[in-house]
Amino acid sequence: MNLLEALQRGPLVCDGAMGTMLQQRGMPSDVCPELWGMEHPEIISEIHREYLNAGADAILTNTFGGNYFKLKKYGVDTPASEIARQLATISLDTTTSGQFVLGDIGPTGEFMQPLGLVSEAEFFQAFADQCQGFLEAGADGIIIETMMDLNEAMVAVRAAKETGLPVIGSMSYNPDPKGFRTMMGVGPKEATEGLLEAGADVIGANCGSILMEQMVTLVEQFADAGAPYVLLEANAGIPQIVEGETVFSQTPEQMAEGVLAVLQAGARFIGGCCGTTPEHIRLIAEIVKGYNS
């Protein structure tokens, strides 16, 4: 059963944060998280297993920033495709039948021409390189997440779609006088239409200054705009700056309170973003699996 067939059967649970879990296990804040993960495969495996044991049906590879542009800033010269392949292999080694590995793609951190210096073709190539690695490793799907610029997100979805794997296109929303918008001003309807046109199979929202229960609005707007399936990965609450550091203070119990409402609104794939832990995912999974039966 592939990912889309599984989603058709009922809602699935996605994993939670990776970055904060790596830092808790000793990853320094100034290193390339992908390279560090490749050097510490046992730590990546352990985090994956904690999420799978908590009830996650799908885990994301530790490749969020593993694109050409971000790797170059860290001075990493290993090709992005090779990094994606190795990290996806580590993820796949922790899963069993019925569990899914999603190749994770985040923003490049660059702006596309004419706003920035990078061409659409260069963006496409950077995403295609990551996708090639996921495909070679045998990943079950690709998730493009935390996107703010719809053009960049659409290019990433197109590159991912060329692998033939199921593709999730997820953007990051914040409250705005007009409802919810990405940092670049993209609304849920426009995002859904663009991502579907690019070939996305699942439309999502992740990260941002928005609580799980507030995502009900987004689920409805995604569905109205034609989304076949909706993925949500909320942060553990609204990000707050405490002593210069971003903290997420919603407890697993508080976060889980919003889950039933988003399921009832039609969300089909639920996990966590920044600040979430295996305990958050365990409580989310209890509600999702209860809703299933």
Residues that bind Zn ion (CB under 5 A): 207, 235, 273-274
Nearer to Zn ion, 163 or 206 (CB): 206
Query: CB–CB of 120/136 below 8 Å?
Result: no
User: What distance separates the 2 farthest-apart alpha carbons in the chain?
Assistant: 51
Lookup result for tokens 């969300």: 267
Q: How far is the CB of 235 from Zn ion (least distance, A)?
A: 5
Query: CB–CB of 107/64 below 8 Å?
Result: no
Q: How far is the CB of 40 from Zn ion (least distance, A)?
A: 22
Q: How far is the CB of 61 from Zn ion (least distance, A)?
A: 16
Nearer to Zn ion, 159 or 274 (CB): 274
Nearer to Zn ion, 81 or 206 (CB): 206
Nearer to Zn ion, 84 or 273 (CB): 273
Burial class (CB in 10 A: 0-12, 13-18, 19+), 32: buried
Query: CB–CB of 81/130 below 8 Å?
Result: yes
- Preceding peptide of 41 cis, ω within 30°: no
Q: How far is the CB of 234 from Zn ion (least distance, A)?
A: 8
Burial class (CB in 10 A: 0-12, 13-18, 19+), 293: exposed
Q: How far is the CB of 183 from Zn ion (least distance, A)?
A: 13
Query: CB–CB of 173/199 below 8 Å?
Result: no
Nearer to Zn ion, 144 or 273 (CB): 273
Nearer to Zn ion, 17 or 223 (CB): 17
* Measured distance CA(259)–CA(232) in Å, rounded: 10
Q: How far is the CB of 138 from Zn ion (least distance, A)?
A: 27
* Measured distance CA(97)–CA(80) in Å, rounded: 27
167: helix, strand or coil: strand
Query: CB–CB of 32/78 below 8 Å?
Result: no
Q: How many helices (H) and strands (E) does the chain have?
A: 13, 12
Q: How far is the CB of 81 from Zn ion (least distance, A)?
A: 25
Nearer to Zn ion, 51 or 161 (CB): 51
Q: How far is the CB of 66 from Zn ion (least distance, A)?
A: 16
Burial letters 239-264, b for 16+ CB under 10 A, else e: eeeeeeeeebebebebbbbbbeebbe
Nearer to Zn ion, 135 or 252 (CB): 252
